[in-house]
Amino acid sequence: MSTTRTINLKNRPTGKPELTDFDFSTSVIPELKEGELLLSTKYVSVDPYLRGRMSDAPSYIPPFELNKPIASGVVAEVLESKNSKFSKGDHVLGMMEWKETQVAKADGLIKVDPDKAPLSAYLGVLGMTGLTAYLGLTEIGKPKKGETLLVSGAAGAVGSVVGQIGKILGLRVVGIAGTDEKVEMIKSEFGFDEGINYNSTENMIEAIAKACPDGVDVYFDNVGGEISDAVLFNINKFSRTINCGAISVYNNTEQPKSISVQPFLVKKSASMQGFVVFDYADKHPQGIMQLAEWLGQGKLHHTETIREGFENIPQAFLDLFEGKNKGKMVVKI
Amino acid sequence: MSTTRTINLKNRPTGKPELTDFDFSTSVIPELKEGELLLSTKYVSVDPYLRGRMSDAPSYIPPFELNKPIASGVVAEVLESKNSKFSKGDHVLGMMEWKETQVAKADGLIKVDPDKAPLSAYLGVLGMTGLTAYLGLTEIGKPKKGETLLVSGAAGAVGSVVGQIGKILGLRVVGIAGTDEKVEMIKSEFGFDEGINYNSTENMIEAIAKACPDGVDVYFDNVGGEISDAVLFNINKFSRTINCGAISVYNNTEQPKSISVQPFLVKKSASMQGFVVFDYADKHPQGIMQLAEWLGQGKLHHTETIREGFENIPQAFLDLFEGKNKGKMVVKI
């Protein structure tokens, strides 16, 4: 019987996750049944939203089970196929377990072409990351040419794509990030008009006002917390906030507090709306086509932080919360 | 020369407004020019949003000027007309100054018929109050039959109409108010399914969960603050919050803090949107027709607290912040 290395959830983290919350085990690879594929993991996506699935609080997707494998977006190669739609040597994208080798049903897997784009791009700009950026910005942000778009977590996987799409759509784009290097990168590599380093800025309210002299029309929020508090003071009438993530408070053990948003929303007839890419599944095919077109035209740049080695998946995940990634973080197996 | 009593804004209130922030003066009634009307004030509307205009912070309408008359919704009788569209004895509705007698341009005034509805109703259920309830609920709340609607400030002018419209539209309607008497009233007079007295409830999160066993789909929020914090724990996936007012924090002198809404919005793909009735002017005529139809059919009940006497306008306004009104508060002159 063949076996494979597997990464399980050992403990539900309290606050910040730690390496000890993960557990490596060896599991048996079951025999392939009709319709199934034997897959070799090539790239694993690590994403902030996985933190939510490690808790057992109700959320938009069910929690991971303790002592069972963690799962995330994976690109894998087909080693053996008992499904007529896939052949040995094909590459597939889907939600798979953190295993080096695994058997999976073919439903829900998408064939991806390594000649059209690097395999890792299907976990990023052409995958959930790109779709989150594109659909969040267009479906909820409804930006109009000439408006000002502010992006928090701007150097991250989603934020860096949001900013680039903002520029393609004719917006003034301002990004917030945590180091001078990242601020420089979002301007030089991703074409943001302005950047703010929140770690070296004393008064964020004033810094945003200065970087957004016409106010903020659309705020793509990946972080929540104090940065988003400061944004409230700069929103325009009818502004739209896309609440895509709140990484700054995901590890809080107490209920986080912020400035009350209600008076700002009332004064400015403004909106805030939570966005989860899974809710927009009917728009994914069109979104991927649009993103692939922009990528092909060279309008969209694709930045990744690639770690290597199956055993380094947990650390790569933890590093997301330290902002150690630029663009999409993936692990190459 | 004739004169009239006038109420001016004397000081910009810090925190809670006080009687000493208002000033009574006698002003000259100017001569009537072509196109103008001489008007005798009959009913004056006092509304929480006027608190905002007493501050000089930027908001959706310009602040009142110091030592100038305050203005609000007024129903007046035409004493003399130099405008062909209005005759002596007509009643008009519009934004007018707090004066017993005044000269006004006819633009922006609407003729109202005392035989169709009591004059005070044009300041309430058939005026801005009714339109706020109807358009806020339908345009932003987008309720679907069978959903659960939760209303804060449920015994107030807007809240009591929101709840009744909710019942007309086939929703389960739960209201939050500040006394047992008010809770009884929203159920017996306005047909709410359930009511919660926040002043006698220790755990609002649990009380809302109990009153809304299927969760909250639409939250019509007139109050903000801690009550709205508790609602967050009970919202359903895709819930919509109409941020109509935040009376609980209007008098705060420090920036009010609340539980961070962002993680809840992300988890639930939920939205919050500020609503100001003035933004929907194109929908007012249709809204008034709908409200008048329901009122005529006896489906909509109209509750007012009527104070008497021009000199009592400031106190009536202050009493809004103590919750001393049931339904719409107006002052009869």
Residue located via tokens 């903020």: A216
| B127 vs B273: CA distance, rounded Å | 22
Q: Give me the residue from A59, A257, A265 closest to B267, CB to CB.
A: A59
Q: Cβ separation of B279 and A259 shorter than 8 Å?
A: no
**Closest residue in B to A251 (Cα–Cα):** B263
Minimal CA separation from B114 to chain A, in Å: 33
User: Within this chain, do residues B135 and B227 fall inside the same structural domain, yes or no?
Assistant: yes
Q: What is the CATH number of the domain that holds A64?
A: 3.90.180.10
| A290 vs A87: CA distance, rounded Å | 28
A74 within some domain: yes
> How buried is residue A77: exposed, middle or buried, by Cβ count under 10 Å (0-12/13-18/19+)?
middle
Asked whether B185 and B155 are in contact (CB, 8 A), the reply is: yes
Residue located via tokens 């957004």: A212
What is the interface pTM, i.e. ipTM, of the complex? 0.80
User: Within this chain, do residues A104 and A199 fall inside the same structural domain, yes or no?
Assistant: no
Domain that residue B268 falls in: 128-278
Supply the pLDDT for residue A38. 97
A287 within some domain: no
Q: Is B276 on the interface with A (CB under 8 A)?
A: yes
Residue located via tokens 């050992």: A10
Asked whether B124 and B157 are in contact (CB, 8 A), the reply is: yes
B295 within some domain: no
| Angle (CA) B52 A212 A261, round 5° | 40
pLDDT of chain A along its 333 residues, tens only?
Answer: 799 999 999 999 988 999 999 999 999 999 999 999 999 999 999 998 899 899 987 666 789 999 999 999 999 999 999 999 999 999 999 999 999 999 999 988 888 888 888 899 999 999 889 999 999 999 999 999 999 999 999 998 899 999 999 999 999 999 999 999 999 999 999 999 999 999 999 999 999 999 999 999 999 999 999 999 999 999 999 999 999 988 777 777 778 888 999 999 999 999 999 999 989 988 987 898 899 889 989 999 888 999 999 999 999 999 999 989 888 999 999
B224 within some domain: yes
B284 within some domain: no
User: Within this chain, do residues A116 and A172 fall inside the same structural domain, yes or no?
Assistant: no
User: Within this chain, do residues A74 and A190 fall inside the same structural domain, yes or no?
Assistant: no
| A323 vs B214: CA distance, rounded Å | 39
Query: Which H or E run includes A314?
Result: helix A313-320
For residue A28, the tally of other CB atoms under 10 A from its CB is 10
Supply the pLDDT for residue B314. 97
For residue B100, the tally of other CB atoms under 10 A from its CB is 16
Q: Give me the residue from B224, B266, B271 closest to A263, CB to CB.
A: B224
DSSP code at position A252: -
User: Can you tell me whether residue A91 is helix, strand or coil?
Assistant: strand
Q: Cβ separation of B269 and A274 shorter than 8 Å?
A: yes
Supply the pLDDT for residue B290. 92
User: Within this chain, do residues A203 and A61 fall inside the same structural domain, yes or no?
Assistant: no
Our count of domains for chain B comes to: 2
User: Within this chain, do residues A159 and A90 fall inside the same structural domain, yes or no?
Assistant: no
Q: Which residues from A are below 8 Å from B236, CB to CB?
A: none
- CA nearest to B262, candidates A227, A190, A182, A110: A227
Best mutation target among B222, B232, B261, B280 (most A Cβ atoms within 10 Å) is B261
Q: Is A251 on the interface with B (CB under 8 A)?
A: no
**Closest residue in B to A238 (Cα–Cα):** B274
A158 within some domain: yes
User: Within this chain, do residues A89 and A133 fall inside the same structural domain, yes or no?
Assistant: no
| A67 vs A64: CA distance, rounded Å | 9
Question: Which amino acid is present at A197?
Answer: N
Supply the pLDDT for residue A327. 83
**Average pLDDT for residues B276-297, to the nearest whole number?**
88
Question: Which amino acid is present at A305?
Answer: T
Cβ-Cβ contacts under 8 Å between A and B: the total is 129
User: Within this chain, do residues B133 and B272 fall inside the same structural domain, yes or no?
Assistant: yes
Asked whether A150 and A161 are in contact (CB, 8 A), the reply is: no
Token couple for B82: 């130099």
Q: Is B249 on the interface with A (CB under 8 A)?
A: yes
pLDDT digits (tens, 9 = 90+) for B25-70: 999 999 999 999 999 999 999 998 899 899 987 666 789 999 999 9
| Angle (CA) B36 B278 B66, round 5° | 65
Q: How many residues does chain A have?
A: 333
pLDDT digits (tens, 9 = 90+) for B154-176: 998 899 999 999 999 999 999 99
User: Within this chain, do residues A132 and A152 fall inside the same structural domain, yes or no?
Assistant: yes
Supply the pLDDT for residue A278. 87
Sign of the four-CA dihedral A221, A225, A227, A232: positive
Provide the chain A residues 287-326 that lie in CB contact (below 8 A) with chain B.
none
Q: What is the CATH number of the domain that holds B151?
A: 3.40.50.720
User: Within this chain, do residues B274 and B318 fall inside the same structural domain, yes or no?
Assistant: no
A319 — alpha (psi -120 to 50), left (phi > 0) or beta?
alpha
Examine the pLDDT at B107 and tell me if it is beyond 90.
no
Asked whether B217 and B240 are in contact (CB, 8 A), the reply is: yes
User: Within this chain, do residues B105 and B165 fall inside the same structural domain, yes or no?
Assistant: no
Q: Give me the residue from B221, B228, B267 closest to A60, CB to CB.
A: B267
Q: How many residues does chain B have?
A: 333
A101 within some domain: yes
Supply the pLDDT for residue A60. 66
> How buried is residue A20: exposed, middle or buried, by Cβ count under 10 Å (0-12/13-18/19+)?
exposed
Token couple for B223: 């109050």
Minimal CA separation from A225 to chain B, in Å: 7
Minimal CA separation from B299 to chain A, in Å: 29
Q: Cβ separation of B244 and A237 shorter than 8 Å?
A: no
| Angle (CA) A43 A45 A47, round 5° | 170
| A150 vs A2: CA distance, rounded Å | 51
Q: Which residues from B are below 8 Å from A249, CB to CB?
A: 260, 262-263
Q: Cβ separation of A258 and B256 shorter than 8 Å?
A: no
Quick one: chain A helix, strand, coil %, rounded to 5?
Answer: 30, 30, 40
Q: Give me the residue from B260, B266, B275 closest to A258, CB to CB.
A: B260
A65 within some domain: yes
Q: Cβ separation of B246 and A263 shorter than 8 Å?
A: yes
Best mutation target among B132, B158, B243, B247 (most A Cβ atoms within 10 Å) is B243
**Average pLDDT for residues B282-297, to the nearest whole number?**
87
Examine the pLDDT at B213 and tell me if it is beyond 70.
yes
User: Within this chain, do residues B88 and B132 fall inside the same structural domain, yes or no?
Assistant: no
Between strands A148-152 and A172-177, the pairing is parallel
Q: Cβ separation of B266 and A245 shorter than 8 Å?
A: yes
Query: Which residues contact residue B167 at a Cβ distance below 8 angstroms, ignoring those fewer than 6 apart?
Result: B173, B190, B191, B192
Supply the pLDDT for residue A281. 85
